[in-house]
Each structure stands twice: as structure tokens, then as C-alpha cells.
A and B are shown apart, each in its own frame.
Chain A
């Protein structure tokens, strides 16, 4: 690359100072924007996980009525819930 081009690019593209009102503009917008990150997602994640667990538990119980024994009287008068080994 010719030296004159290198020189012109360095001159024309040199860094500049940011205007003083940039902070006001950023600050004004940022007032409406909260710092997001780890603070919010865990709360959402925990709520979703709790819902999922409750739903899964309900489905499991619904699909496995035998695991949720209701005392049944037997002919001999004993109870399955109390005498599973029988």
C-alpha cells in the first residue's frame, strides 16, 4: 500500500472524543432497562421447575393408582394396605 494512503487513512480515521451528552442518553435509556443476567432467570427457572415437578408428580400418581393404596377390606377382614405381603 502506498505511503500516502496509509498517512491519509491514519489522519482521516483518527480517534475522536465522545460528546459529553452520551452518558445522559445512555443513562436515560438504561433507566428503563434493568441489568439482566443471573438474577432473573433462576427465579423463572425455579418456578418452571416447580411446575414441571408438580405436573410430573400428578401424572405419575394418576398413572399408578396401585401405588397409592386405598385400604380394601379382604374376605378375611384384613386389609391390603396393612398386609401387602399377603
Chain B
């Protein structure tokens, strides 16, 4: 059976990309597309923006892959690219999502319907609360919960200390808890 680009070890794939081999680009894209898109979507909060960020990340990645010297892991390098694309887009847009308050109407419903509505509402609120975090806090939350990165990996990606990562996560958790505690309590009583 012939060895396809997807079967090649990552180091070899990277070198093939650095030589400009088309199949290798596709294989590397397939390896990282879900991780890049997930970070973009969870950070940006909408699919159109996530597509733009993911596209931008891969175009940058492919056009600068010859600069990759292997000083950090390739995965860390990819995460840095998508983080930078997210933050760049954020800086360009300076867009804050308005948070509609439909919670009172939800509370008027009864029984199981109410519990289900609260579940949906909590889900919507979690996303809205994450969207309202500052970009720095939101990014550590996304890297931690979407990608499951360790504190050390997050600090490598963001280029800050482990203490800074811990502090940002702590601040983000407190902010989210404050914003979401009320609706969670209502959900438990429904």
C-alpha cells in the first residue's frame, strides 16, 4: 500500500511543506483544521468570523512555515498563530456583543418546560458570558476548555508565565461564576 502524505510523521510533513510540497500542505491542514477552527469559533463566537480566522491562520501558517525552526513544538507554533489571528481580528473589530435579557420571560414558564428552557438559557448565557470576557481572559478559557491544554502549554502558547496563566484563569472563573450563578441556582430550583 502506498504511503500517503497523511501517514507521514509530522517532522517529515513539516520539512515537505518547507520544500513546498502540495500534498504535505493538505496533510498538515487535515491534522490541525479542527483545532484551529475550534479555537477560532470558541473565541469569536460566530461561524463566519471563525472561518475568516481559520483561513487567515492557515494562509499565514503556510506562507511562513519556512521560518519554523523547531525551537518550540509545532503544535505550540500553530496555536500561537491562531491565537494571534483571533487577537488581531479582535483588535480590528473592537466589537462587543450586546447581551439581550430574555431571562425574565423564561422564568415565567412552568415545570419541565421551565427546566428545559433554563437549560437552554444557561447554555446561551455561558456562551454570552465567555464572549464578554476580555480577549486575554477569554483566550485562556478557550485554550483550557476547548483544547484541554495544561497551564504550561498555555503559557508556552501565550508567551507568559505559568503564574500569569493561573491568575487569568482564576479571574475568568470568578467573572463567569458571578455572571452565571443566578441562573444556575434558578435551574436547580425549577
Contact = CB atoms under 8 A, between A and B. Distances in A.
A34 B63 contact: yes
Interface string A31-44: 00111111100000
Contacts of A29: 55, 59
Q: How large is the interface on B (under 10, 10 to 19, 20 to 34, 35 or more residues)?
A: 35 or more
B51 interface: yes
A35 B126 CA distance: 40
B36 interface: yes
A8 B173 CA distance: 12
Contacts of B25: 30
Contact of B33 (A8, A18, A37, A38): A18
B150 interface: no
B59 A33 contact: yes
Contacts of A86: none
Contacts, number: 99
Contacts of B126: 8-9, 11-12
A23 B123 CA distance: 30
Contact of A37 (B51, B66, B145): B66
Contact of B177 (A1, A15, A33): A1
A22 B51 contact: yes
Interface in B1-51: 17-18, 20, 25-26, 29, 33-38, 41-42, 47, 51
A50 B118 CA distance: 72
A25 interface: yes
B25 to A, nearest CB: 8
Nearest to B36: A18
Interface of B: 17-18, 20, 25-26, 29, 33-38, 41-42, 47, 51, 54-55, 58-59, 62-67, 122-123, 126-127, 130, 141-142, 145-147, 173, 176-177, 180-181, 184
